Structure 1
């Protein structure tokens, strides 16, 4: 077991010593390699979306276990949960007025769970809530997302408010995890269940992003034109990529910690 860890630890040390530009190149190279592997394994791109939803559900189950069994919400960001509830509520509204399918039901279940988490943090487990660490100003993400949605939104036949809200929830979802990462950066030490939950979010985001990227490649870009014209189709894809890269750094340290045999994740400065 120890001999298996040594090459991974050596590679980790080597990567850590590289300048930022080299690290960024390696991250892009790793992402491309993962996409090629997924392309070879998965023949239906929609399966990636379903897999992403399944991984997200696993993360939620881990979160439920933490709150019900561990009786603590330490390390969790209430603001991230509130942003998640906000974009899910907006997306549900858009689904009902525009087009709804099985994903609408999944969003409804996720919203119900998120509201329960918010209730637990605000009331039942309030004493363990790290409010001093959860000090990320929500308007830093809500206002820019709203302004961007005013400027770039779908070009459908729906009324302006619906199109604005659709764009707003897409942009807000891509940055909703920032307060959670901010809490973990402030705390420096991330307890296991919180780390598992955030890692699950990272994997789910990557699978969702891979679903869109592979669809674009397979269709020769026609899937983007199906979403409308102008900047909106490209912004949908960019939002997916942003979600993935926001969590990429954390996922790297998570994997490094797991292979290093450390039950508690320690984040260095500058991860978020």
Structure 2
């Protein structure tokens, strides 16, 4: 494992921990898109179908379990926890995420490396992850004022994908054979979606003011 992948995994894990901290410490999911969290849970379940069939390493297995269980815990809290679910802004979180699921599945059926159930699920998870952040970004844009923990969650989630692109570039030049085009394309799309958020995040950090997104 190279440093870029490790940093990508750690920033991804840290983003989840930040979100869990926000929910459990404040008993609030204000500013958090439940639809994005449901999409991420679907991403992890579809991608890690090999959890009980293919063993790579203890690290790999633990990370898979952590991401599946943490995403499920977040969705459960937003749907079932008495205090947390009352803070969910359903009227603002109206992005039609079912459309994203349908399009990602269609892409997976058409554009895949092998027409097998596992490969289609893997491609589906990659395509869906590329756009899963859209409901969250739309919600933040509508609410405009972004609390510190939610802003950090989105920032570290975007940083995770940026590190993974560096990981792919590194592996391409050092391993040669690592040239799967699906994660390259989806990763670039996903990173591009964060560009506007990153711009305003760094402006707020530079000027030491609260993060606000334009309407």
Secondary structure, counterpart of 1:190 in structure 2 = coil
Contact kept? 1:145, 1:171, Cα under 8 Å: yes
Which has the greater radius of gyration? Answer: 1
Tell me which residue corresponds to 1:119.
Answer: 76
Aligned-partner Cα distance in 1 for 2:26–2:69 = 21
Matching residue within 113, 116, 134 for 1:160? 116
Per-residue CA deviations over 1:29-78 (Å, capped at 9, x if unaligned) read xxxxxxxxxxxxxxxx7211111111112222211221111121100000
Contact kept? 1:199, 1:251, Cα under 8 Å: yes
Tell me which residue corresponds to 1:265.
Answer: 211
Aligned-CA RMSD value: 1.7
Contact kept? 1:94, 1:166, Cα under 8 Å: no
Tell me which residue corresponds to 1:52.
Answer: 8
Tell me which residue corresponds to 1:141.
Answer: 100
Contact kept? 1:133, 1:183, Cα under 8 Å: yes
Seen in structure 2, the aligned counterparts of structure 1 residues 170 and 96 have a Cα distance that, compared at 3 Å, is farther
Aligned-partner Cα distance in 2 for 1:207–1:61 = 18
Aligned-partner Cα distance in 1 for 2:61–2:189 = 23
Matching residue within 190, 207, 212 for 1:243? 190
Give 1:96 shift.
4.1
Aligned-partner Cα distance in 2 for 1:241–1:103 = 24
Tell me which residue corresponds to 2:22.
Answer: 66
Q: Which runs of 5+ in 2 are unaligned?
A: none
Runs ≥4 residues deviating over 6 A: none
Seen in structure 2, the aligned counterparts of structure 1 residues 210 and 152 have a Cα distance that, compared at 3 Å, is same
Q: Is residue 2:178 matched to residue 1:223?
A: yes
Seen in structure 2, the aligned counterparts of structure 1 residues 92 and 53 have a Cα distance that, compared at 3 Å, is same
Q: TM-score, normalised by structure 1?
A: 0.73
